[in-house]
């Protein structure tokens, strides 16, 4: 078996995922290791180049021995005898969502594993031709991916700066426009990037709590559902309301639950949006929560979060569901329960 060498490695700033570049004496591959060290671990691999002469057929001997195989000659768009990369000029740029990455050599993109990569699509390589078994041709996708990479660079540069101070002020002002001076401000990020908080206030005798800071992040996977319109829905904050008479201890448990769900898309590498449900055992007698976007249904409009980087930040209200209501929503959608419970968020969650 050929010895392998890791040329570069880097952790995602948001997801439990590691990107690395590995070379043996025949090939160089770009990898994303998802949930490393866990039962859910998986490796996404993308061929970058051959270092030895390409073979006419598939490199079955390498595959049978567990080695990274060379790309067959018909799919190779570099010197068929093999090429080398300058390891000192290699760098990784993460997609804004944190679940996918580009590989650069100096200023040129040489590979990409997007969030939509999977079993049938390994990723793109600058040195691949056509639809190869271990990488697809990058050149045809390069115009769109270059724009994506430029935006990602700008995004992570902003995230590395003091963006939160401005965002915090703008969002806090939006919340206080809704319920007046806030009552409590809880940091919910554990001192880790990205900064997040839960802010509480009262209005009309009802208690409200909203996340703050989450809207700076772009959700993974959402573009696979909304395509060109994904920018409208990929940023969100959570909100929950309690009417007078709510048990204080149970309300606190629900606030902790809501705070934890803010990070769920990057923890689970998925997305949250209108009509989604999440199992919930934080409130006795309830089985799940339903998320409702006031832009998409007739419910309390809530606070108007300012845009972030030119994209809207959506409010997702949290509605508690009993086991029966959960089953009904799963089978028939949210319209029926909204008709029964009404659109005032503060009337949903007496616990």
pLDDT digit string, tens, across residues 37-61: 899 999 999 999 999 999 998 988 8
Report if pTM > 0.85: yes
What is the structure's pLDDT at 267? Answer: 96
- In the predicted model, what is the mean pLDDT of residues 131-160? 96
Whether residue 115 has pLDDT greater than 60: yes
What is the structure's pLDDT at 65? Answer: 85
Whether residue 118 has pLDDT greater than 90: no
Judge whether 330 and 278 are in contact, CB under 8 Å.
no
First-to-last CA distance in the chain? 62
The mean of the pLDDT values for the chain is: 95
Which one has a higher pLDDT value, 118 or 234? 234
Whether residue 299 has pLDDT greater than 90: yes
pLDDT in tens, 280-295: 999 999 999 999 999 9
Radius of gyration of the chain (CA): 24
Write out the two tokens for 82: 């093999």
What is the structure's pLDDT at 2? Answer: 66
11-15, 116-120, 336-340, range with the lowest pLDDT: 116-120
Which one has a higher pLDDT value, 62 or 123? 123
What is the structure's pLDDT at 60? Answer: 85
Whether residue 63 has pLDDT greater than 90: no
What is the structure's pLDDT at 297? Answer: 95
pLDDT in tens, 91-114: 999 999 999 999 999 999 999 999
Confidence class of residue 3 from pLDDT cuts 50, 70 and 90?
confident
Whether residue 190 has pLDDT greater than 90: yes
In order, the DSSP letters of 137-202 are ESTTTHHHHHHHHHHHHHHHHHHTTTHHHHHHHHHHHHHHHHHSS-SEEEE-STT-SSP-EEEEEE
Whether residue 1 has pLDDT greater than 60: no
User: What is the C-alpha to C-alpha distance for residues 117 and 138, in angstroms, rounded to an integer?
Assistant: 13
Q: How is residue 131 annotated by DSSP?
A: B
């Amino acid at each position: 078996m050929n010895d392998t060498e890791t040329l570069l490695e880097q952790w995602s700033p948001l997801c439990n995922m590691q990107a690395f570049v590995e070379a043996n004496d025949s090939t160089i591959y770009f990898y994303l290791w998802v949930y490393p060290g866990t039962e859910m671990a998986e490796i996404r691999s993308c061929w970058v180049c051959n270092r030895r002469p390409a073979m006419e057929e598939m490199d079955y001997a390498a595959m049978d021995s567990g080695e990274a195989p060379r790309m067959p000659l018909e799919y190779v768009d570099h010197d068929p005898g093999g090429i080398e990369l300058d390891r000192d000029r290699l760098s990784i740029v993460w997609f804004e969502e944190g679940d996918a990455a580009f590989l650069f050599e100096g200023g040129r993109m040489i590979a990409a594993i997007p969030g939509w990569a999977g079993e049938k699509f390994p990723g793109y390589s600058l040195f691949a031709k056509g639809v190869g078994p271990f990488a697809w041709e990058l050149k045809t996708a390069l115009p769109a991916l270059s724009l994506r990479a430029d935006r990602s660079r700008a995004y992570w540069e902003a995230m590395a700066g003091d963006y939160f101070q401005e965002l915090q002020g703008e969002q806090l002002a939006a919340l206080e426009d809704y319920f007046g001076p806030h009552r409590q401000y809880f940091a919910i990020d554990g001192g880790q990037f990205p900064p997040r908080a839960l802010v509480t206030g009262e209005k009309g005798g009802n208690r409200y709590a909203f996340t703050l800071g989450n809207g700076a992040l772009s959700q993974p996977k959402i573009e696979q559902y909304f395509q060109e319109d994904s920018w409208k829905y990929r940023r969100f904050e959570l909100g929950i309301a309690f009417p007078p008479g709510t048990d204080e201890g149970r309300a606190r448990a629900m606030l902790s639950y809501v705070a934890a769900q803010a990070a769920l898309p990057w923890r689970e590498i998925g997305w949250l949006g209108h009509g989604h449900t999440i199992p919930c055992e934080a409130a006795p007698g309830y089985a799940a929560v339903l998320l409702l976007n006031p832009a998409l249904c007739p419910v309390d409009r809530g606070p108007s979060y300012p845009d972030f980087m030119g994209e809207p930040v959506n409010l997702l209200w949290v509605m508690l569901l009993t086991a029966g209501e959960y089953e009904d929503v799963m089978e028939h959608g949210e319209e029926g329960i909204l008709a029964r419970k009404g659109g005032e968020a503060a009337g949903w969650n007496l616990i």
